[in-house]
């Protein structure tokens, strides 16, 4: 591991080996950073849909109480519980499918449970980075990094719910300075 990239630590070295085994590397390419989103990706990604299901269950329950309909509350709660469990399971699968890789030549993002998508850009084409943190991300200590390349007017790829986002941004910036120009 090169000096200046020490923040990545031993887990990143092991993840770099995993990235090499997974076929992310080109000939002669060196992995500088290989990470997944934080495990906070799962609860942060499910909080809104789960909240909506809970809200709808409360409305349905209130409607049953008001109308005095002969409906067992379990007939509302059981399907809602299944929906919540399915949403959390899908988010966990999505977390497992994501990988963010920085090499001495490229920046890569892969994701997708059923349909895999890969974004990759040569470091020399990356024009700027965008770090965003919602209130929930700030509380969890994670952030989302946007990658912008030359020739587009929008952010092309997002590294979502990255742990220690400032340190990751620093590693990416150092790689851009060292290898991208």
Are 58 and 29 in a shared domain? no
Strand partners, 130: 146
Percent of the chain residues topping a pLDDT of 90: 68
Q: What does the DSSP 8-state code read for residue 104?
A: S
Percent of the chain residues topping a pLDDT of 70: 86
Residue 165: pLDDT over 60:
yes
Are 28 and 104 in a shared domain? yes
**Domain of 68?**
43-92
pLDDT confidence of 25, banded at 50, 70, 90? confident
For residue 158, the SS3 value is strand
In the numeric block, which tokens belong to residue 111? 């994701």
**Cβ atoms of 24 and 31 closer than 8 Å:** yes
Q: Which CATH number does the domain housing residue 128 bear? A: 2.30.29.30
Residue 15: pLDDT over 70:
no
Query: How far is the C-alpha of 35 from the C-alpha of 45, rounded, in Å?
Result: 18
Tens of pLDDT, residue by residue over 74-119, are 788 899 999 999 999 999 999 999 999 999 999 999 999 999 999 9
Are 116 and 156 in a shared domain? yes
Are 76 and 132 in a shared domain? no
Are 70 and 152 in a shared domain? no
In the prediction, which pLDDT does 105 show? 93
Residue 10: pLDDT over 80:
no
Are 145 and 68 in a shared domain? no
Q: How far is CA 125 from CA 29, 106, 136, in A?
A: 17, 9, 31
Residue 24: pLDDT over 60:
yes
The number of domains in the chain is: 2
Q: Is residue 139 part of a domain?
A: yes
Q: Is residue 54 part of a domain?
A: yes
- Classify the phi-psi angles of 164: left when phi > 0, otherwise alpha if psi is within -120 to 50, otherwise beta: left
Q: How far is CA 168 from CA 2, 78, 84, 142, in A?
A: 15, 42, 32, 11
Strand partners, 142: 163
Kindly give the residue spans of alpha helices, DSSP state H, lying in the chain.
Answer: 9-21, 41-67, 74-97, 135-140, 165-179
- Between 24 and 150, the more confident residue is 150
Query: How far is the C-alpha of 136 from the C-alpha of 106, rounded, in Å?
Result: 30
């Amino acid at each position: 591991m090169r000096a200046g990239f020490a923040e990545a630590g031993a887990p990143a070295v092991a993840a770099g080996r995993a990235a090499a085994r997974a076929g992310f590397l080109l000939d002669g390419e060196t992995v500088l950073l290989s990470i997944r989103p934080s495990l906070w990706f799962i609860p942060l990604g499910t909080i809104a849909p789960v909240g909506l299901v809970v809200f709808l269950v409360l409305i349905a329950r209130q409607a049953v109480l008001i109308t005095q309909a002969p409906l067992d509350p379990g007939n509302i709660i059981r399907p809602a519980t299944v929906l919540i469990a399915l949403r959390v399971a899908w988010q966990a699968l999505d977390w497992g499918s994501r990988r963010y890789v920085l090499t001495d030549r490229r920046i890569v993002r892969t994701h997708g449970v059923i349909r895999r998508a890969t974004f990759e850009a040569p470091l020399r084409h990356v024009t700027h980075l965008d770090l965003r943190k919602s209130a929930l991300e700030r509380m969890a200590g994670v952030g989302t990094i946007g990658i912008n390349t030359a020739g587009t007017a929008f952010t092309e790829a997002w590294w979502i719910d990255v742990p220690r986002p400032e340190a990751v941004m620093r590693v990416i910036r150092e790689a851009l300075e060292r290898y991208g120009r």
